Structure 1
Amino acid sequence: MSNDQPVGIVLVSHSKEVAAATVELANALAGGTAVPVAPAGGTADGRFGTSSELVVAAAASVDRGSGVAVLVDLGSAVLTVKALLAEGDELPHGTRLLDAPFLEGAVAAVVTASAGGDLDAVQAAASEAYDYRKV
């Protein structure tokens, strides 16, 4: 699954605004790179929640053939992505749900993808964000 294209990243939040702001922050901290990152926040009708349709559309929009990393914020977002992965045909081949903190993991994932990291490297960097200490 390696090619010259970057790993795509989808950020799934219960809030449209949180997902969009996290995309904006991660891109800014990564230097405004050309990594394809898309938010999938809230429901299709604008409420708080998770939409499988928005997740599928976001994943399709960032897929460049190098895999798609999906980070989620809370419970039902995890369940939605796991259900889509179990179905096996709605998300692009090579889509992975990453076990990582949402904000810190998103930044680490985007920075790593912007440096040319493959899906394994993006997953490792995002997961390592659990170890970021603030005190």
Structure 2
Amino acid sequence: MTTPHYIENSADAIRFVRDRPWYPLFAGHVYEVPVSALGTICMACWSMLADARFSGDVLPGERLRERYFSLIDRDDTTPEEWGKFMDTLWNVVDAMDLEQQATWFIELNDPVTIKGHYWVHDGVEYLDAAHTMPRDE
């Protein structure tokens, strides 16, 4: 079985360029993430946020934000409710396209310091994911 053409031409990774090192991840200014792991990395970044208000403010979608703030404002929230919330969040992130995940990653990681992001396919950088895909001509 051969790989479909659109999968062969999709981005392999995304490079986020920052004006300062990516501490504590590493000392470099460029953080390269495989596109297959971008959603998981976004979730990891979100789950490590220390500020509960900021954590809610950066959630993708008004309904998720409302649900999150409802949960944190209650004293009787159960682990099952948090588990259902996290399942919903995972589903939302999995349903995002790569550009949406990249935008969320930037929001989670101090957008003022991130100067650009580039999609990488076969070692070549592109300005957006669409340019790594085949054209409909």
- The TM-score normalised by the length of structure 1 is 0.24
Which structure would you say has the larger RCO, counting Cα contacts within 8 Å and 6 or more residues apart? Answer: 2
- The TM-score normalised by the length of structure 2 is 0.24
